[in-house]
Every structure is written in C-alpha cells, then in structure tokens.
Amino acid sequence: MTYLLALDQGTSSSRSVVFDGNGHIHALAQRELPQIFPKPGWVEHDPLEIWRTQLATAREALAKAGITAHDVRALGITNQRETTVVWNRDTGQPIHSAIVWQDRRSEAICAELRARGLTTVIQAKTGLLIDAYFSGSKLKWLLDNIPGARRQADNGELAFGTVDSWLIWQLTHGAVHATDVSNASRTMLFNVHSNQWDEELLNALDIPASLMPAVKPSSAVYGEVHPDLLGAAIPIGGVAGDQQSALFGQACFTPGMVKNTYGTGCFMLMHTGPSFHTSTNGLITSSAAQTASQAEFVMEGSVFVAGAVVQWLRDGLHAISSSSEAQALAETVPDSGGVIVVPAFTGLGAPYWKPDARGAMLGLSRGTTLGHIARASLESIAFQCTALLQAMRRDALQAGISAVTELRVDGGASVNNLLMQFQADLLGIPVVRPMVTETTALGAAYLAGLSTGVFKNTHELSAQWQVERRFEPRMAPHLAADLMERWEHAVRQTIL
C-alpha cells in the first residue's frame, strides 16, 4: 500500500492526514492552536506552538494509521496563507510571534504605499490589492518595530517565511529555506509573471532580499524530513497555500473550473490557466498551485462571514445550542418569510469591498420567527457566494474563459443540504460535493505524490475525484434573479 502524509496547518488548528494512493483517508489527527490577541485588530500565533502541534499530529496520524514513516512515500504541506514568521538563521528562534493573516496592524504601512501611488504597479505585478491582509506589510512592520530586527536583517541573520517555509525549516532542521509559488504570490512582494521576488517591491517596503526563501513549483521535492523527527527521511514533495491546495484537491485543473470552501468565511477560486487577468469586478489574482515552472493563475474572492453567521445564531441570539442545529431550525419554515440577513459584522468582502458596512436584518413582520431568521442567516451565505460567482463570470467573460458549468464545494458548511440546494437554485448551475471533503489536505498529498512518482499526471487525479452528491437547480431563473435583486437592495442598506 502506498501512503502519503499531508500536514494541514490552519488558523485554528494543526492537522495531519494519512492518505493512500487512491486518495482515501486512513487516519487524521488534529490539535487546537491557541489564538493570541494582544490589542484590538492584532492577531498572533506562537510559531513554536505551530511547530509543536503540527509535529504532534503527524506522529499521531501515523500511529492511528498503524504505519511508520518508512511506509510513507512523500509528505505534503498546506497552510494558512499570509501569516508571517521571522526567525534567526543561526538559532532557529522566532524574533516575535507570527502575525496572522487576519491582523490589521500594518494598515498604516499600506496607506503610505497607496499614497505613494503604488496601487497600480503592485496589482500589475502581484495581482493583489494593497492591503494589510498580505504578508509584505506585516514583514515590514516586524523589521521596523522589533528591537534589533532591522540591523539583523541587513546583516543577513534573519529568515522570513509564511507558515509553509517555517515548517519546512523545522522539518529539515534548518537545511531548507523555501516556499512555493502559491504562498509567495500572497506576500505582495512576488512577481507572478516571472515567478520571482520583485526587486522594486522589496525596495518599496525596505525589505532585504536576503530574508526571502527560495521559490519552487508547488509540486517539487523540497528536501527530506530529518529522520529523528518521524523515524525516517520522508521526501517533502508538495507545498501549497490552503485555498490553492483545496482547488487542486478538487481536481480543478483547467480554466473556468471553480471551487468554494465554506468555512468561517468563504473562499472561492477559479482556475484561469496560464494567462494573467486583472479583475475589474473586485476580485484578486494569485498563482495557482503549480506542477511545473509554467505560471498558472486563479481569480479569488472572499466572503468574510459565512459559517460565522451560524456561530452568531448560537452565541449571539442563543437561537440554537450547537451549530449542527441550524439546518433543523431553518427547516421549521418553508422559506425565510421575506426576511433577509446581511451579516456584514466585519464589513463586506468581495465583490463589494465595503469595510464600513454593518450587519442588517430586513423584512421583519409580526409573523417572523427564529426559524425565519435561521433560514435567512443560512441563505445569506448563498447570496454572498452567488454575488461572488457572478463577479467571476463577468471577469471570465472578459478574459475569454469558458463559462462556469458547476461549483465544486468543500468545508464545514458544505454538509448542510439546505444551504447547498439554495446555492444551486441561486446560481442556476449544479453544486457538487465530493466524496472526500478534506480537499485542502488532499491537494497537498496529490502535489507530493506527483513529484515523487506516485501519480503520473493530473488526468490520473481527475479520475480519482468522485461525487458524493450533486445538487441540481430547481428554482426558475426569474425567481432566482428576483431574490438576488432583493439581496442587493438589502446590501445597499448596510452601507453607512
């Protein structure tokens, strides 16, 4: 039996999954990752705790599977993107906590970049909008604010990395300092056309090039796990940021294929092939997980509040006692009774980009029940994702990319059948849920398997992908259009 080990280091937990050569799960281990909130708007992780929890889950997963490291052909890594770590090259010790992708402390740096007129050049080179979300401004903040960091960086004593680079460094006992193109493309420092760190952008943020990791394709042998960690030297054969890894795990390899991950937020990615396209509809462009040196791209949009609206039903309204009860409560009514919930608790993301928007509930009457509010809350996830896919369709049309024919879904909320059916109804295309919903980890395993000869090509991976359930649209198109019109009207009411 061929086995692959995927390390899935996320924002809230570290996980490890053992897959066989057919993409089936044999074991899974998970440990929670503590969150650190030093100030309002600041979010940090302990890099050493990231490493400890990830190593512990890898050992646990192997034990659960009843195998040893000698049985594993390759290891793949997928990770929370943009989270920024800087460490000393000699000691391997971080100079500060990791600054998490959610952290907003570097907004002033971003405002300065915008004021300097760098918006257009950064979007043209990186596909990104200037935002504190991305790693570049976080790295500059660390160099400017941690005592001695700037001097050490200038002397070549420090290393920067996103979480994948940090794990590779630890797994190889400091022998390899590297990242993949998909993670590099989320830094605001990487030229996605040439697949290289961009000298002009590094200079713009006053970042020494010596800090930066080597950049490789997502499917490549990066090095070997030191044998004293897991018991044998396993090749590290695949690395990708979590959303690009999920796209790969969903076998979305050709232009026009789209996946949506339903988590706390939603992340929708469309593969656009080897051609770079700048969105005119509020999306960003990043590098896809790449199997060769040829550049490939995705368009991406994010919904800030998706599954989090269910947490609000539970913790804010106390309408349910556990998240699993949301669907049952929503099904106590045949529809939302005209209620629309716009969960703009932290502003609105793509395609609206309205950070000052605030949540709203409209269409209330004396007959409104908690069931109507629960149903409207679930439907808000589908409404936001529909607006996102409509923006993607417009961009795809402008780019000459074939029409989207289905939406492949994963993530925790994708198990909600009511939500998935409503999503298909609004979109007017099938929503497809795969047999293996651990697509983020599966993508990392696939990338590692490709580079080490477990799989011949992506055609073989496409053949492995299997449908668990297909939700066909049942609603008349004009009714879906009417609902979206009501949704957009409600969105306009949230903008202060």
Q: What are phi and psi of 235, to 5 degrees?
A: -65, 135
Instruction: Say if CB 226 and CB 168 are below 8 A apart.
Output: no
Q: What is the pLDDT of residues 144-202, one digit of tens each?
A: 999 999 999 999 999 999 999 999 999 999 999 999 999 999 999 999 999 999 999 99
The confidence band for 269, taking pLDDT boundaries of 50, 70 and 90, is very high
Instruction: Tell me whether strands 3-9 and 72-79 are parallel, antiparallel or unpaired.
Output: parallel
- Residue 72 near residue 4 (C-beta atoms within 8 A): yes
pLDDT at 415: 87
CA proximity to 238, closest of 306, 161, 291: 291
Pairing mode of beta strands 235-241, 219-224 = antiparallel
| Residue type for position 74 | A
pLDDT at residue 1 tops 90: no
Helix (H) or strand (E) holding 315: helix 308-315
**pLDDT for 243-263, tens place per residue?**
999 999 999 998 889 999 988
| The predicted structure's pLDDT at residue 298 | 93
Mind listing the pLDDT tens digit for each residue in 471-490? 999 999 999 999 999 999 99
Please report which confidence band the pLDDT of residue 381 belongs to, taking 50, 70 and 90 as the band edges.
very high
Give 53-69 pLDDT, tens digit per residue: 999 999 999 999 999 99
Long-range interactions of 473-479: CB distance < 8 A, separation 24+ = 473/424, 473/425, 473/427, 473/428, 473/429, 473/430, 474/421, 474/424, 474/425, 475/425, 475/426, 477/428
Phi, psi of 444 (to 5 degrees): -65, -40
Separation in Å, CA 437 to CA 350, 443, 451: 24, 11, 23
* Res. 51: pLDDT tops 90: yes
| Nearest one of 412, 392, 406, 380 to 488, comparing CA atoms | 380
State whether residue 322 is helix, strand or coil: coil
Residue 127 CA to residue 84 CA, distance in Å, equals 19
Task: Record the pTM.
Answer: 0.89
Residue 496: its pLDDT value, please?
65
Average pLDDT over residues 266-291: 89
Backbone angles phi, psi at 488, to 5 degrees: -65, -35
Q: Is 24 left (phi over 0), alpha (psi -120 to 50) or beta?
A: beta
Percent of the chain with pLDDT over 70: 100
